[in-house]
Amino acid sequence: MTSVQSRNAAYALALIVPAALMAGALISQYGFGLYPCEMCWWQRYPHVAAIVLAVLALTIRGKGAGDLAVILAAICIGASGLIGGFHAGVEYGWWEGITSCATMASGGNPLDAIMNAPIVRCDVAPWSLLGISLAGYNFLLSIGGAVLIFALLGKGRKGA
């Protein structure tokens, strides 16, 4: 793989990884009724920031500013992964969470929203595959994606 191909792959992954994970989270929520807890929301915010940064990187696409935006996107992706790792540890009972696991209320009458909101606990995994929860998969995919983005971008810069 040439240095240009490595940089292009880093730019692409900086958008694909958070976009795919956010799509999975939204499909889980709206398609399968797996409502997010407070820590699930915490994992989404860095992915949204990473998507914005990756789109910015693709539009400016210069070595300096574009690479900086990709680096910041990778940091955001990694941050979401670390939050996911902490959340998975709470779900598995390895440590206690730092939240009361409140649900989010939105729009309309606030009392109705609170009374009709599903109760979602942060310390209970609503779904798992092979013993790994959604937060655990976010940890694995986000940390792996961030490391790969840094490696590809480093290889692309080394050859330039």
pLDDT at 106 over 80: no
pLDDT at 80 over 70: yes
DSSP characters over 32-88? H-----HHHHHHHHHHHHHHHHHHHHHHH--HHHHHHHHHHHHHHHHHHHHHHHHHH
pLDDT at 85 over 50: yes
pLDDT at 103 over 50: no
Please report the pLDDT score of residue 35 as a whole number: 85
Say how far apart CA 144 and CA 108 lie, in whole Å.
Answer: 40
Kindly indicate the confidence band of residue 102, based on its pLDDT and cuts at 50, 70 and 90: very low
Please report the pLDDT score of residue 4 as a whole number: 82
Question: Which range is least confidently modeled, 43-47, 65-69, 144-148?
Answer: 65-69
When pLDDT is averaged across residues 46-52 and rounded to a whole number, the result is 96
- H or E segment to which residue 129 belongs: strand 128-129
* pLDDT, tens digit (0-9, with 9 covering 90-100), for 121-154: 667 777 677 888 888 899 999 999 999 999 998 8
- Residue 97, SS3 per DSSP: coil
